[in-house]
């Protein structure tokens, strides 16, 4: 039974105090003392609605340790001393309740119940109505990715509403359709980015999110077809078409979008992720701003340019990057003759610029002010300094930052990108090919041109020395589109969603994540494991047979056991 927390003390509406997300974009608001705010006298002005909506920004976007910490449950990165419990099939059935996960939905529905009481003109507060539609879509999408089928609620549940409290799970496609409908309304009501900036939700963000949601569900339904995870009778093309339509509206409409490019292909991609103020970057549709002077910094530099914190990119990710000629590069062959630092230097010189923008290469500055240079990865260091693979992560750092190469206590102000136009172009490319087998060369080439790569071409899988097997055949064109997505969005927190929607467990099941080719001369006392090719094999002991993902279960979380007991109309997810 979904028993949401009732608001017993109706003398108070909790207006968000944690509005520091907006510090650099909004002035502090003069709020009424909390003991003077009641449900009866609230909702009267547009400022009441604005203040109420502030609380959802830090709830939806809580991260401050930056994008690499969003890549922890994928095949792109090792993080920590133990393998991912998700990839390794080690999750246990959830006990307890899920009421906390639904609190956001309830709080947004409180807004919908009350906003029409506002006495101001609708035009003065329509943007906040748009925010409410966006955030309900956001939180429902998070729940859907976890649980699949879930009940849909668009009203405030009260404790005496037994019918709603005992509601069974609605099909996931019904939830997706409602999410997309909410996003349609968000696009209608939200202000343009040019009017509100990119630290708050805007029309461009809502369209970008539509492309993400629609592509996710279209892929899920196509690649999970015939399994217990799919919805019978659903045509995936319905969602691919929606993704294409939203993307084409954003690409061709009167919106503030673009690809960040200053004519420096060797550094533009890297530079964008390390900026502190992203307000004038057209590619960045929404970002989280930080301000050390206001006591709101982040730890990106402390956990990357100062210490590796047990993070390291995988061989599987690195070997996805093409050579500078646009052709697959034979990494394993190179590793036979070049190892350690020499290997890193060689791949930086010969491969896609996005590779050396993602991992440190010997000679890179960690901090310009302190004249600190990256000399070699910390594969033999202690826990805090350890890079377990040799591919030490550099993306989102900035050697000119005041916090560069300093411990996390010093703090940094690097912006956290939440939505960017580059992702929209990739969503568009994938959905368009899935829909009608066409390739949107113009959009893909915008990403290639930024980093000085040749125009997008289709390489034959049979000629790829780094061939990966999805567990099912896909055309060469789609294989190359997925590769482009991987390298462009590396470590940005999208890979786990991609693996799930593609039903791509074959990419990592029964396999271990590997690192770079060890040069023993550089680390004579190294006591870790290497495989037969001389690649670091960090998890050899923990994963003797590779990740043990259970594909008939692990694409979804279990429904908490207490909920099944309280509401017999709920059913458990497959395999649990």
Note the pLDDT of residue 238.
98
Task: For residue 484, give Cα distances in angstroms to 159, 435, 458.
Answer: 50, 18, 11
CA separation for the pair 518, 393 (Å, rounded) = 17
Q: Which of 212, 206, 210 is nearest to 186 (CA)?
A: 206
Note the pLDDT of residue 346.
98
Note the pLDDT of residue 71.
84
Note the pLDDT of residue 222.
98
Interval 514-558: pLDDT, tens: 999 999 999 999 999 999 999 999 999 999 999 999 999 999 999
Instruction: Please identify every stretch of the chain with a pLDDT value under 50, giving residue numbers as ranges.
Output: 1-32, 34-35
Q: What residues are paired with 283 via a beta bridge? A: none
Helix axes 421-436, 203-223, angle to 10 degrees: 40
Residue 55 · residue 48 · CB < 8 Å: no
Q: What is the DSSP string of 289-324?
A: --BGGGTB-B-TTIIIII--TTEEE-HHHHTTSPBT
Residue 230 · residue 224 · CB < 8 Å: yes
Note the pLDDT of residue 66.
66
Q: What is the largest CA-CA distance in the chain?
A: 75
3-state secondary structure of 420: strand
Interval 440-462: pLDDT, tens: 999 999 999 999 999 999 999 99
Instruction: Using the Cα atoms of residue 392, residue 398, residue 404 and residue 408 in order, give the sign of their dihedral.
Output: negative
DSSP assignment, residue 366?
E
Note the pLDDT of residue 146.
98
> To which residue do tokens 């300094």 refer?
385
Task: For residue 39, give Cα distances in angstroms to 49, 110, 131, 404.
Answer: 12, 11, 21, 47
CA separation for the pair 358, 485 (Å, rounded) = 14
- Structure tokens belonging to residue 327: 């052709």
Interval 262-317: pLDDT, tens: 999 999 999 999 999 999 999 999 999 999 999 889 989 999 999 999 999 999 99
Give CA angle at 216 (470, 204), nearest 5°: 135
Q: What residues are paired with 367 via a beta bridge? A: 372
Note the pLDDT of residue 8.
24
């Amino acid at each position: 039974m979904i028993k949401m927390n009732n608001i017993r003390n109706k003398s108070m509406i909790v207006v968000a105090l944690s509005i520091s997300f907006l510090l650099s974009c909004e002035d502090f608001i003069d709020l009424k003392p909390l003991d003077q705010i009641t449900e009866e006298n609230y909702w009267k002005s547009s400022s009441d609605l604005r203040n109420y909506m502030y609380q959802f920004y830090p709830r939806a976007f809580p991260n401050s340790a930056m994008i690499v910490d969003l890549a922890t449950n994928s095949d792109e990165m090792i993080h920590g001393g133990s393998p991912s419990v998700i990839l390794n099939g080690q999750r246990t059935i959830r006990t307890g309740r899920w009421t906390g996960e639904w609190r956001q939905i309830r709080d947004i529905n409180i807004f919908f119940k009350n906003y029409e009481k506002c006495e101001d003109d609708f035009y003065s507060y329509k943007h906040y109505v748009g925010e409410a539609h966006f955030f309900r879509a956001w939180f429902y999408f998070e729940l859907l990715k976890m649980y699949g089928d879930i009940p849909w609620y668009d009203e405030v549940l009260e404790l005496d509403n037994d019918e709603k409290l005992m509601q069974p799970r609605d099909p996931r496609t019904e939830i997706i359709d409602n999410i997309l409908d909410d996003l349609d309304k968000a696009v209608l009501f939200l202000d343009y980015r040019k009017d509100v900036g990119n630290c708050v939700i805007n029309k461009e963000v809502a369209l970008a999110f539509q492309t993400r949601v629609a592509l996710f569900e279209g892929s899920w339904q196509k690649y999970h077809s015939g399994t217990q995870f799919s919805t019978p009778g659903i045509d995936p093309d319905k969602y691919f078409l929606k993704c294409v339509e939203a993307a084409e509206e954003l690409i061709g409409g009167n919106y503030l979008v673009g690809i960040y490019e200053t004519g420096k292909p060797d550094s533009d991609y890297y530079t964008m992720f390390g900026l502190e103020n992203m307000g004038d970057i057209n590619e960045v549709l929404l970002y989280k701003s930080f301000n050390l002077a206001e006591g709101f910094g982040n730890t990106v530099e402390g956990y990357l340019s100062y210490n590796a914190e047990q993070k390291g990119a995988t061989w599987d990710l690195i070997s996805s990057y093409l050579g500078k000629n646009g052709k697959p590069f034979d990494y394993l062959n190179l590793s036979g003759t070049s190892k350690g630092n020499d290997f890193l230097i060689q791949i930086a010189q010969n491969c896609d610029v996005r590779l050396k923008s993602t991992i440190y290469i010997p000679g890179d500055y960690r901090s310009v002010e302190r004249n600190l240079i990256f000399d070699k990865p910390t594969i033999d260091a202690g826990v805090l300094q350890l890079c377990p693979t040799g591919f030490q992560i550099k993306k989102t750092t900035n050697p000119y930052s005041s916090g560069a190469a300093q411990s996390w206590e010093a703090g940094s102000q690097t912006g956290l990108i939440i939505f960017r136009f580059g992702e929209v172009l990739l969503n568009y490319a994938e959905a368009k090919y899935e829909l009608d087998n066409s390739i949107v060369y113009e959009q893909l080439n915008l990403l290639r041109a930024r980093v000085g790569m040749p125009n997008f071409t289709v390489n034959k899988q049979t000629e790829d020395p780094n061939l990966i097997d999805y567990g099912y055949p896909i055309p060469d064109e789609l294989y190359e589109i997925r590769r482009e997505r991987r390298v462009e969005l590396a470590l940005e927190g999208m890979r786990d969603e991609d693996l799930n929607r593609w039903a791509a467990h074959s990419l990592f099941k029964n396999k271990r994540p590997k690192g770079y080719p060890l040069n023993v001369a550089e680390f004579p006392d190294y006591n870790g494991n290497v495989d037969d090719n001389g690649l670091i094999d960090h998890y050899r002991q923990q994963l003797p047979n590779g990740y043990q993902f259970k594909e008939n279960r692990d694409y979804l979380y279990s429904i908490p056991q207490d909920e099944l007991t309280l509401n017999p109309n709920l059913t458990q997810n497959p395999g649990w």
